Amino acid sequence: MSRATRSLFLRPSLVLLGLVSVAGILRADDFWKSKPRSEWTLKQTLKLLEDSPWARQEVRTLMAPDAGPDALLDRARARCGTDNVDASGNCLPPRMGPPSDPTRTNAVQFSSINDVTFLVRWESSATIEDAFAHLGELGERATAQYLSMPPRLPGDRYVVTLKALERPTAAGAAPGAMPPDPIGPVENDAAGPRARLTAGNLSVVPVETERSGVGAADAVHFYFPRLADGAALIPSDRPSRVTFEFRGQRFSMKTHFWLTPEMLK
């Protein structure tokens, strides 16, 4: 068999092998579908709570508390301090580097103390509730406290948690510095509600908000109604793209969740 003929047979085989490998990775990544809660490892449980369909991490640069004349908007309407612009007057993006501890897959180091990683978690999922319960079964109650398990889950509310994560450091080192009160006030101001949940053409604001924890465990829990104008905010018969928005005093964010009926609690 010539080299060209062998190549023709080999290429489809490699493509098939690649597809099988990717499918295996995807199945392994969706471990919560194939393994009961009792078989989740600690790493898998933390993945559900920190980096999963129900948990998103967003990086934001905090403005100085007294940002006024010292802050500006560039041509793209991005807001930054006057010492964080290029020669053209555009805001410089935060510089990122690899994690110092390779065992922390979600860890990212940032160049400025003003760059904070926020965790936004969709609590109203049975899988997330199972993950917190499993942390207790693994004897990781302190970890559950740090990750800000919500104090309650009302049946008539969707609950979204917002918290700042500590800076990654080298293994064995103390956690990195956290700016004081990174989330800031959550009460409505003259501009309106600070938080909003949108699905399709329907949008709601929190019925109430609640803080939990102190220090590194500090978090805010937003309780949104499940009905908007008498209709279900999130349909129970099809997947929905749900958007959580927060307009803070020092930063703002918009986080998207793609939720199927099976994901909803």
β-pair partners for 209:
222
**Section 14-30 average pLDDT:** 45
pLDDT at 197 over 90: yes
Task: Report pLDDT for 84.
Answer: 60
Q: 52: buried, middle or exposed (CB in 10 Å: 19+, 13-18, 0-12)?
A: buried
pLDDT at 239 over 80: yes
The pLDDT tens digits for 78-90 are: 555 545 656 555 6
What are the structure tokens assigned to 212, written together?
């939990």
Give me the phi and psi of 202, to 5 degrees please: -100, 140
Among left, alpha and beta (phi > 0; psi -120 to 50; other), residue 119 is: beta
Which of these ranges, 48-57, 71-80, 225-234, has the smallest mean pLDDT? 71-80
pLDDT at 97 over 50: no
DSSP 142-177: HHHHHTT--S---TTEEEEEEEEPPPP-STTSPPPP
Question: How far is Cα 28 from Cα 17, in angstroms, rounded to an integer?
Answer: 16
Task: Report pLDDT for 181.
Answer: 85
Q: What is the pTM of this model?
A: 0.72
* Percent of the chain scoring above 90 in pLDDT: 53
Question: How far is Cα 81 from Cα 227, in angstroms, rounded to an integer?
Answer: 40
Task: Domain ranges for the chain, please list them.
Answer: 32-263
Question: How far is Cα 45 from Cα 135, in angstroms, rounded to an integer?
Answer: 7
Question: How far is Cα 253 from Cα 246, in angstroms, rounded to an integer?
Answer: 5
The pLDDT tens digits for 151-196 are: 999 999 999 999 998 766 555 555 556 778 889 999 999 999 999 9
pLDDT at 142 over 80: yes
pLDDT at 208 over 80: yes
The pLDDT tens digits for 101-111 are: 333 344 443 34
- Higher-confidence position of 253 and 6: 253
pLDDT at 260 over 80: yes
